[in-house]
Structure 1
């Protein structure tokens, strides 16, 4: 599988682990439409600032967001290329699934003669 060989197993695991959490997906969505600071994000969730920082760090390690300093704040933005990569991988898995379902149809459905 060329699609999967392009990345290490650990890199793929980090990517999908980061996307597995609802708070992290929400942070990712917010950083697509704006460039919030970590402090701004922390006010939007019922959790501590440190917990939000950890969520952002998981997203950053997975390459899904980048932080950049802006004065005393850290601004968060989505890395669109990495997000597209996640989509490509999911498309790859869907394509594999559809091929297998088509093969199953060939076996189970009677052929017209």
Structure 2
């Protein structure tokens, strides 16, 4: 089964809705990937996110599923945008950046997260 390419970028509200809407079908649920550094995760993190720092993405990409949507997140969206573009060049057509990153997530989705 082939998938149409996912959007290159979505809002945090769209990402939250997408992650929540597929809760009843775990195999269709997007994989949330946080490309920030470890010290940033100590400040704020989304528990369901898999941590792969941007610098380790080239060596870790082979561990990611190609048949599942990938949502990429960083602090404000710049690093995750680069990660999304990189994964797209590697054949991951389901990779999508979350615009605004965890900062926007803290403002619009989960105000309990610490902002930095």
Higher relative contact order (Cα pairs below 8 Å, separated by 6+ residues) = 2
State TM-score, norm by structure 2: 0.34
State TM-score, norm by structure 1: 0.35
* Structure with the higher fraction of residues in helix conformation: 1
